[in-house]
Chains A and B, each alone.
Chain A
């Protein structure tokens, strides 16, 4: 064992890598649990990679084959149901944990100098995560997904100037057809994983180089009085422990709460009641539903899209807008902005499911 280690070490300098990992220390205080959220998201992404690649072995894109191939996976292939269930569950938990991670980072003001780029890359990862979900949702080619994709891409079409273009590029034509499915498949399994991986490496490198941030009030305590543990091996081992728990939870969910495959999509069938997007789009969907057909002289859809576009941009550029955070002051305004956003998302999501 140590011979193998030495052999590799002489060539790849493992000692240095370990020294680097040991140098980073993780602060211990009431917020330490937050530091696990990013790691859990990372682990869930790894699960997506593994189960996704396994699904690719049997999945066949195309309007005539997609639904059938997913049915084949879950009914004929040994453990096919398990792989698909895990991919679906882990996809949803992935988004959930990325949201948790983002909001804890937000309220801890971790985006302040020098970590602006960590926030920006994180935001891009969230957007890509949502794109993963949106493109993956269509892949089983069932009724729900078909209409959700029609509606979702139609909303993209309402964006001023670029909407028409976006809609056609997304749908690979004017309508949602087999061509859309092929395109979404390519986006889902090649384009997104590629870009995601590059951004993820950047995000993680920044975290590793800059170390963990602590909220302003902890930062005021003199360094020697703060408690820390080494990132390696102490924190990493705890990470593993939690990942193990997460994996077990997913396995339980997969077995006891399976995702329905539903009916095959049919372009000539009317939309059934209960068309809805995945839960993480629900708050936007519900907002659009509540906006009347016309607001002043504008179409309601456009107003909704602009509302979210502006909100999203503000959230994206928070590190540059919250000037107080850089000098270690908690800005009331931004804290309330974050609280408002959390409440808004929760209330509209629940509302969306009730009506």
Chain B
């Protein structure tokens, strides 16, 4: 081994060591900042209230696990439950009773009462939930489980 190559070797050893040392500090800090996965609360069914909580043409927002769900009763009397989070940028939507449409105030997005995006920026329809009545209880279930 010449003197020159020994020096290059030591140089690299030092640089590699410093890099590894630095990485060993950065890595935990970086990982620490990422929040741990919260277990998805596996709620597939929830009671939204009783019939008397829902006069015709009214709505209520409830929470199913981590998802806000808008439960509404049309003027004709039938129920509908949709994901309440706008597909545009995450605002919470509201039910406009007069026109029977769902409105997102953030950027003036409209959905029809079935959750289809009809005007404004929302790119996708709202997620669907099932509504069933058990005696006078209004029960909301996840679609795939119903």
Contact = CB atoms under 8 A, between A and B. Distances in A.
A binds B: yes
Interface of A: 147, 150-151, 153-155, 165, 168-169, 171-175, 179, 267-275, 288-289, 291-294, 299-301
B132 to A, nearest CB: 22
Interface of B: 33-35, 38, 61-63, 66, 68, 84, 86, 88-94, 104-107, 117, 121-123
Given A172-B35, A293-B122, A269 B92 contact: yes
Which residue, of B62, B84, B92, has the highest number of chain A Cβ atoms within 10 A? B92
Contact of A270 (B38, B88, B92): B92
A293 B122 CA distance: 6
A151 B106 contact: yes
A151 B90 contact: yes
Contacts of B89: 150-151, 154-155, 288, 301
B93 A270 contact: yes
Contacts, number: 76
Given A153-B90, A270-B93, A271-B92, 5 more contacts: A155-B89, A169-B33, A173-B38, A271-B104, A301-B89
Contact of B68 (A173, A268, A275): A268
A272 B93 CA distance: 9
Contacts of A271: 86, 91-94, 104-106
A157 to B, nearest CB: 9
A293 B105 contact: no
B136 to A, nearest CB: 23
Contacts of A155: 89
Which residue, of A168, A172, A267, A270, has the highest number of chain B Cβ atoms within 10 A? A270
A268 B63 contact: yes
Nearest to A292: B121
Given A168-B35, A175-B66, A267-B68, A293 B123 contact: yes
